[in-house]
Structure 1
Amino acid sequence: MSAPEVGGRTVRRRRDLALLSLGVFAGIAAALLPVFSVIAPGAWTIGALAGAAVMLLSGLAVRFSRAPALVATVVELLVGVVFLTAIFGRSTALLGAIPTPATLASVSTLFAGASEEIRLGIAPVVPAAGLAFVLVAAVTGLAVVLDHVVLTARMPLLAGVGLVAVSLIPTIAIPADVNVPAVLALAATVLFLLRMDVRSRTRAAAPARRTGSRVWGASATAIGIAAVSVLVTLVAVPFLPQPALRFASGTGAGFGTTINPNLELGNDLRQPRDIDVLTLTTTGTSAPYLRAVTLSQFDGAVWQPDSGDTVTVPGGDAPVFDPVQVDGDIEVADWTTTVQVGELDSPWLPVPYPASAVTGLEGEWLGMPANRTIVSRSGSSRNQDYEVQALVPRPTLEQIRSRAVGGEELGDAVRALPADVPATIGDTARSVTAGAQSPYDALIALQSWFRSSQFRYSLDAPVEAGFDGAGLDAVAQFLQARTGYCVHFASAFAVMARTLGMPSRIVVGYLPGTRSGSVEQTGSVEYTVTSSQLHAWPEVYFRGIGWVPFEPTNSLGVPTNFASGSTGGQSGSATTPEQQDAATPGATRSDAPQLGDQDGTGSSAAGSNTSAVQNPTGPLLAVGGVVLLLLLATPGAIRAWRRRSRATLIREGDPVAAWAEIRADAVDLGIRAPDAESPRAFAARLVEEHGVDADDIGLVRDALERAVYAEDGVDPARGPALADTVERIRERLRAGASATGRVWALVLPRSLLLRGEPAPVEAPDPVR
């Protein structure tokens, strides 16, 4: 085998390896696109892609040196450790990059921080040091694995399966619409890997010129598969059913489409997708709060859902519960609400309070008379369509001020508090309510205090401050931080009310919905309730009236306030939007804050204990910038290396290398050089269209023809002349190109996509 043929095969081999590595990198980038729905892109993205690029480039360098394949994997692992150490553990590393025992010890801290971020984070999570380390390390490790699978084991299809698995994880974690661009990008990269693998195997089996039809056959097959894949993705995928919504019943794993009775609503409220869970119409003056679960027992750490006696919900129009027992002077309103449940999968049924009859339910349902909630032991609220009749007490301001709180019939559960209540809770309650003339006035003072500018609603701050709960410790921290969401406001209000000797409990349900239209037949207004309107609020019991809800959560709902009956003599008549019924503190519609409305302060708790770990943002950006520059410079560097390699052969008198270099220069500058065009035709076109000197191009062309037909190959004597001629032709081609064309030729040389061997040679004319 001649030297030019060996050199051509070497060039082809290296080009195929480089293209396979590029395909692996593109596949990793495409697989990461769906991840951004769960993890917010940022500095970690640059670090992850930089890590993947460094791994692939180091493996490629080893393979270019023809070292054993296993050496490439070992080198990648070593480089990966140095790379991660330089970013996340440089303060404890030797020379800022070599890990020490202290560096290795900090890894457990990083993993612990990542676990906390994942457990408490808001999707899409903004990673701190711990989660950023895990993400960058995972993508870097994935690059090593895929490099071995594709370039060493030569199993690109297996690599494609791995990439698809990575891209599916976010969709499994949080149901979402199909990301069509991400699917197309991933499909394209997998097909590219398969195509390159087939081409390299085909070339290895036989010389390129003898396998042109086989190579084209593989290309046609790949193009056909790609076309079908694109067609299926664009047409069929959007019509496929989306992943099923999650079901949870008190496990703390709800995701906004169920009702969590354990006051662990943070994860539900932090979901990025706001889903319509139900619609309702009502004969009341406005949309009511919908209660689902009532929590009366409190042990100092957890509020427990009620589990008292139940009654079977009868069919037809028969009442489920007896009417609320109220004093004779209290007005009672009879309102009917129709509810249509959609994407809400829960054993607890959202109903207005205080329900007396529920009709239209499918399946077996039970009612709890103590709190007037409806529950199923085996069924679900999904797709239920039912009607609820509620008899709502409507006292006047004077009537509720004259009532005492509590009653012997309630039992001790709604008053009980553990012995170790932090003193700050009771002291604060007494301080805020000092001077109140009645229990109602004291509760209004508490409600007004929570809704004042001293407090702020936030889904972020509780997690960052470490009190994402409803126990006594969380309440004490909340009263100090004064920022949180409905669980903190409701729990603090209920506990403070108990410290004042008032029976209290917490309700989990939904805020009044958003007006979405009108029903033509009845003229009533339709409201839509979304998953972000999941809510918790407290209730306090008044003798002769019943359980009265309050709304302490800052900026949500409408605070409880009653109109005076002294002016018109009609009890319960509201004169302002805030003067609403006792059972419906949100009778005036108020939307729950969306994710975009939330704000928080402080730094992540997950990252608060990682003092030995460096802040990765700066290094990630710096390393990412350097890697990006290197990636941009890589094509030009490869082209320069190839030019120097050919220059050596040209000075030794190799006309094949000289012709290949002229052809490459032309392609870099945007001049066509088809594989099917003969050297004579190409040379004539360079003379006629691009001003190349006929004697210069003729010298190289003639030397090429003699090398092919007369086996007059390498001649050191003509080497200097060939080198000078090639340089003159290059300068002439560059002079005829635009400035933009010369820049593109330097930065993104298109000749890297050319084959290594010269084009076919025609027999020279016998007469010149």
Structure 2
Amino acid sequence: MSAADVTVLRTPRRRRDATLLTVGLFAAIAAALLPVFSVIAPGAWVAGAVFTTAAVLGAGLVVRVTRLPAVFATVAEIVVGVVLLTAIFGRSSAILGVIPTPATFGTVPGLLAGASDEIRTGVAPVVAQTGLSFLLVAAVAGLAVVLDHVVLTARMPLLAGVGLVAVSLIPTIAIPSDIDIVAFVLLAAALLFLLRVDTRARTAASSRPRAGSPRVVGISATALGVAAVAVIVAVVATPLLPQPGLRFATGGTGGIGTTINPNLELGNDLRQPREVDVLSVRTTAPTAPYLRAVTLSRFDGSVWQPDSSDTVPLPSEGAVFEPVAVDGDITVADYTTTVTVDQLDSPWLPVPYPASTVTGLNGDWLGMPQNRTVVTRAGSTREQVYEVQADVPRPTLEQIRSRSVGGADLDPALTSLPGDVPAVIGDTAREVTAGAQSPYDQLAALQTWFRSSQFRYSLDAPVDSGFDGAGLDAVADFLQVRAGYCVHYASAFAVMARSLGMPARIVIGYLPGTATSSSPEDGSEYTVTSSQLHAWPEVSFEGIGWVPFEPTNSLGVPTNFASGSGSGGSTTPDTPEQDAAAPEDAPSTAPSQAARPDIDAQNGPGVATGARASTSWVAPSLVGAALLVLLIVPSVVRVLRRGRRLTAARAGDAVAAWRALQEEAVDLGIPASGAESPRAFAARLIADHGVDAADVDLLRAAVERVSYAEDAVDPASGPALAEAVERLRSRLRAGVPPTRRLVAALLPRSLVVRPGAVEAERETVGS
């Protein structure tokens, strides 16, 4: 580090640069932390982190502008950080509430232990309590101290950028999700801002600044070009790239596998070109069970949120969940299911419902009593073999018809809907269920309607018609188009049930597998493939619990119950036709990916069979448009830079005019050596490239006067300088092949190679 960098801020320019770097660093830290909200729910810790970070960086800036040695800045930041952490989390044992004592430091291990428990037992997004809040605020404050030293003391903003990018990627690695576009753009802008300010400060420190200095302008133009290309690639081009056949597993043996997306974005998973066996099931139940992994109960009108509630450690043996609470007259059957996981890599464990015990797992697993699901914070389902004991309620048709929906302990969120529900949803629900005598009959009518010939299963119609989602608008469009896959059927069913006042939620898991063997002693065995990833709705009934329904057209078998009187079905009261927790009445032969019906293969109401063909041009067109934009960005940036050079030249800036000529030469592959004097460069242009001697001598004489005589800018000579540059540019372009001119226009070298750099001293091959 040079003496100019260590001697801190003795000029207004340096104080301004330090202030800009501090503000830019604060913005970069904030942008890097935005993706954390997908893992840690926003709360009071956010305000604490923002205030502490601002105070820490502000303390460092104050020290620097007072011309104290840089080491004092770091010391001041640490002191401010400790004082604020004490005031927020340890004021009860501190002197005056802000000065820590040994007792204050003694509380830190307890806070960290509490944070560890919250992380270990919580489900994203975790609601931060005191321990986790302390860890987050302290970590952000420590990050600010380190990055402030890296950026303002060590003058290495690029290294700070690497650290910030790593921080922003941690939440995405922990819970795979889409790129946070807003956070990405903000972080990229903040890092480019830091690089620009730092580079400008270094340029100003190494040479005497001149008015209209082209070097700073060039840096700005290059940064703008880099930013534009990066944003276009990340935001536009990347989502349009072909998706891989399968997702790469993150655990187990590291082979290829699949996972479970808890955000109802199952379309890409179901549209995978290949399918693999994800697990096998052996069960003593008369039918293959649906395997649930995640439930989604909270709906804000656009997104169904995965449930996150209190968890309990999974014991190595014994019951993890309380016995199923059902009325005394409801029969409960006890089934045992053994699951062997193959190519499934997920933190959510597929289990039949309602599970009571889960044994045989490797690693630390947690049970969620609210929905009887099992999750892990540090492991994976990969290669697990486990046994599940399930106590399945088996009501008769009369029993479920006599029950009302709901329950005393249910969360009000299970029936809530936003205030802007499209009218078509409620109107259609009431129309379809008109005449039903009980809540169950209403739900059965909805299920029958969805599975009728009015609807079709399609993986592509939602994409082609632009409603591939689970929000209210997507549900309304689905009810009009009447073609979609399980996500649309499940969401529409749940929203319509809630519009009728019923508590409903969505489950993500797997359809019953395809039967592969059967043994009276060991039960039946089924294989479940990646294409059988599924979503279905559930409704809660008093005295019975959550009852699943199967509205997805052409998949599975609809939920129904036999009469207990012996006149309404072929079964006896204690062996109803349908279990409450498994909407299947026979060993499943659920269709594979290849067998799933598609809207293009059938003709019916909704979307015409040619819909996909009519929109197949959209993706290639968007890719072409993105590539075209990427192609013209360098040209646009070069045109803008040339315009600024000529504007400065017309104002009488001879340096800008000379630099404009040099940049034209670099673009066309003509060497522009930094060791070559203006007089020698001008002579070479005249001798080797046939430019007009009068024009080049005009520019050469002007720049020599500025360089050696330090003449001031002469506005009167400006128009002549600009006109000479234009004529010289035309002559240079005329002297090179057309291909060289095309390359110079599309990929101008001067954006990355400055005149005088080593690269500018070599003539381009083929020029």
- Structure with higher Rg: it is 1
Compare relative contact order (CA 8 Å, sep 6+) and give the higher one, 1 or 2.
1
Q: What TM-score bracket applies, with the shorter chain setting the length?
A: 0.3 to 0.5
Give TM-score, length-normalised by structure 1.
Answer: 0.47
Give TM-score, length-normalised by structure 2.
Answer: 0.47
